[in-house]
């Protein structure tokens, strides 16, 4: 018979402590490893315990098991029918005067340099 694992056994809240039967090497979500028989879930994420065939992966997060359930039977939140989508037309005055003055000044400087290199000045 296949051994099944309950979701409750693979999930625990952060700031909770798990006491293990024997010291195991534990890799925390931040990548740090330690060998201990007491696991403090101080970070949210995936904890990897043990090596090889004895490896167990558990998750710690800020939510409860019920809040983490993705198979919700009732609809939570606002329905899409409550939103109204329509095209919004918005006009905005674009101020190009400064850009045109800068472009004119650059053209004048380039023309002045051209005339100077040609030898007319």
| Per-residue model confidence as pLDDT tens digits over 25-39 | 888 888 888 888 877
Residue identified by tokens 């994420």 is 45
CB 39 within 8 A of CB 17: yes
Q: For residue 47, give the nearest of 29, 35, 61, 65 by alpha carbon.
A: 29
Q: Could you tell me the residue ranges of all domains in the chain?
A: 7-68
| Per-residue model confidence as pLDDT tens digits over 46-85 | 888 877 777 777 777 766 656 555 565 666 556 556 667 7
Q: What is the value of pTM for the model shown?
A: 0.44
pLDDT for 43 equals 79
pLDDT at residue 1 tops 60: no
């Amino acid at each position: 018979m296949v051994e099944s694992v309950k979701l409750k056994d693979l999930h625990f809240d952060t700031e909770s402590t798990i006491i293990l039967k024997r010291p195991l090497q534990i890799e925390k979500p931040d990548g740090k490893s330690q060998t201990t028989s007491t696991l403090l879930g101080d970070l949210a994420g995936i904890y990897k315990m043990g090596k090889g065939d004895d490896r167990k992966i558990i998750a710690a997060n800020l939510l409860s098991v019920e809040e983490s359930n993705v198979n919700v039977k009732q609809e939570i939140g606002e329905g899409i029918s409550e939103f109204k989508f329509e095209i919004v037309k918005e006009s905005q005055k674009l101020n190009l005067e400064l850009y045109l003055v800068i472009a004119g000044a650059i053209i004048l400087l380039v023309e002045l340099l051209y005339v100077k290199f040609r030898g007319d000045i």
